[in-house]
Amino acid sequence: MTTPPLSARWVRFAHDGGTGYGTLDNDSIHIHRGDMFSAPVATNQHLPLASVTCLMPTVPGKVIALWNNFVALGEKLGLTAPPEPLYFLKSPNSFANPGDIIRKPHADGKVVYEGELGIVIGTIATAVTEAEAMSHVFGYTCANDVTMAEILNRDATFPQWVRAKGFDTFCPMGPTIATGLDPSTLVVKTTLNGDVRQNYPISDMRFSVAQLVSLISADMTLFPGDVILCGTSVGVGSMKPGSDVEIEINGIGKLCNRFE
């Protein structure tokens, strides 16, 4: 058995009634044992990717999602730059796998896609400095921060972030966690029914990955497997039932889901 590479794409999968994880090498999964976030060990076993069902690459205790973290979208909406990260939580019932159906809520209303980069935490982080922050990052994944938009401000006395963002299946993640990437070089591309709707650089973030991890960890402890969604940029739009939405980031892969 060998130790895993520093630069890799990690996947979780279902196979023969069980679940496992490993690193992706073209169309083959190199199976690992132990804790993905704490000294995973490579075995001599491999599985064809086509023989498994891909799952969310992590099962987070919490998903933290940013608002107004991209300059281009903030300027388009006339928002001032916040002095600190503005964020909310996505509820566990909203988590969904690659390929899962994003289910339309029972209530009618505008449902929008938001293609985003997800930061996956690898080690416990409590009030870490910006200089220390990157040592607590395991890698990066794709996510779709689905939102029932008109619920947000329907009640003038109470912005409904949790409800609008927390419907079942409203947070697909995957297909991999990529390690060894420089997030500042990444580009998020969102495609709806074959048409590119978002194509924006992570370098446009108001708060960098290190700043987000540091500042959020000062508020709440981040645990291995937790995910911070970096926020989204221009091109957010509505989905109609029957739509196919894809979030793609080079080096990570393509997250594909259908809205029904």
**pLDDT tens track for 44-86:** 999 999 999 999 999 999 999 999 999 999 999 999 999 999 9
Average pLDDT over residues 176-192: 97
Distance of CA 19 to the CA centre of its chain: 20
Q: What's the pLDDT band for 202 if we cut at 50, 70, 90?
A: very high
pLDDT at 174 over 80: yes
Average pLDDT over residues 182-204: 98
Question: Hey, what's the torsion of the CAs at 6, 201, 217, 121, to 10 degrees?
Answer: -30
Q: So what's the pLDDT on residue 1?
A: 41
Q: So what's the pLDDT on residue 230?
A: 98
| Model pLDDT for residues 19-32, shown as the tens digit of each residue | 999 999 999 999 99
pLDDT at 140 over 50: yes
Structural domain spans, the chain: 9-55, 63-259
Q: Does the structural domain 9-55 have CATH classification 3.40.50.360?
A: no
Q: So what's the pLDDT on residue 107?
A: 86
Average pLDDT over residues 176-201: 98
Distance of CA 38 to the CA centre of its chain: 21
Q: What's the pLDDT band for 43 if we cut at 50, 70, 90?
A: very high
Lowest mean pLDDT: which of 4-18, 55-69, 93-107, 232-246? 4-18
HEC profile of the chain: CECCCCCCEEEEEEECCEEEEEEEECCEEEEEEEECCEEEEEEEEEEEHHHCEEECCCCCCCEEEEECCEHHHHHHHCCCCCCCCEEEEECHHHEECCCCEECCCCCCCCEEECEEEEEEECCCECCCCHHHHHHHEEEEEEEECCEEHHHCCCCCCCCCHHHHHCCCCCEEEEEEEECCCCHHHCEEEEEECCEEEEEEEHHHECCCHHHHHHHHHHHCCECCCCEEECCCCCCCEECCCCEEEEEEECCCEEEEEEEC
Average pLDDT over residues 222-228: 98
Q: What's the pLDDT band for 5 if we cut at 50, 70, 90?
A: low
pLDDT at 3 over 80: no
Cα distances (angstroms) measured from residue 229 to each of 30, 77, 144, 157: 27, 20, 9, 26
Strand partners, 54: 13
**What does pTM read for this prediction?**
0.96
Q: Are 9-55 and 63-259 equal in CATH topology? A: no
Q: Does the structural domain 63-259 have CATH classification 3.90.850.10?
A: yes
Q: What's the pLDDT band for 2 if we cut at 50, 70, 90?
A: very low
Q: Which two tokens stand for residue 212?
A: 């987000």
